[in-house]
Chains A and B, each alone.
Chain A
Amino acid sequence: MSGRPEVRIALFGMKGAGKTTLLASYFGNQQRNAFEERHGYRLEAADAAQGSVLLSRYYRLEGGDFPIGTDGFDSLRFGMKVHDLPTPSLDVVWYDYPGGWWETAPSDEAERAARREALKLLLDSHAAILLVDGERYAREGMTYARSLLDQFRAEIRRITGELSALGQAPDFPEQWLIAFSKADLLGEGVTALTLAEQLREGAADQLSGVQKAVGASSSFGQEYLLLSAVRGDGRRVLDAHQTLGLTTIAPIVLLGALARVAEKTGRGRVWGTLATALDVLRGLTEAVDKLDDFLPSKYRVLTVLIKALRTKEGLSVSAEKLRERQRAAARRGKALDAAAYALRAELASPGTSRAYFKTRLEDNG
Chain B
Amino acid sequence: MAEPALRIRLDDVLYRTRGRDWDYAFLLQPAPLLVEGWYALHRRIFKSVEPNATPCLLRGELGVGTGKPFFATAFTDDARRDSQARPIAHYLTWLGSDADAAPGVSFGPGLVQALAPALDVVFELGAQLLRQGELQSLDALLRGRFQAAIGERELDVTAAPGLALRWLGTLPA
Contact = CB atoms under 8 A, between A and B. Distances in A.
Contacts of A104: 22-23, 25, 130, 133-134, 137-139
Nearest to B127: A103
B88 interface: yes
B152 interface: no
B138 A105 contact: yes
Interface in A30-61: 49-50, 52-53, 56-57, 60
Interface stretch (A68-76, A282-290, A311-319): A68-76
Interface string A98-126: 11100111111111011000000000000
Given A98-B23, A100-B23, A107-B137, A66 B86 contact: yes
A38 to B, nearest CB: 28
Contacts of B87: 68
Contacts of A109: 35-37
A235 interface: yes
A106 B23 contact: no
A114 B83 CA distance: 26
A71 B24 contact: yes
Contacts, number: 102
Given A104-B23, A110-B38, A16 B50 contact: no
B43 A114 contact: yes
A107 B49 CA distance: 21
A53 B84 contact: no
Contact of A235 (B23, B49, B85, B137): B85
B134 A110 contact: no
A66 B84 contact: yes
A113 B37 CA distance: 11
Chain A to chain B: the 8 pairs with minimum beta-carbon distance, closest first: A108-B37, A100-B23, A109-B36, A111-B39, A110-B39, A49-B48, A104-B138, A110-B40
29 contacts: A16-B84, A49-B47, A49-B48, A52-B48, A53-B49, A57-B50, A60-B52, A67-B50, A68-B86, A69-B23, A69-B82, A69-B84, A69-B86, A71-B89, A72-B24, A100-B22, A100-B24, A103-B134, A104-B130, A104-B137, A104-B139, A105-B136, A106-B137, A107-B25, A107-B26, A107-B37, A108-B37, A109-B36, A110-B34
Interface of A: 15-16, 49-50, 52-53, 56-57, 60, 66-69, 71-72, 98-100, 103-111, 113-114, 235
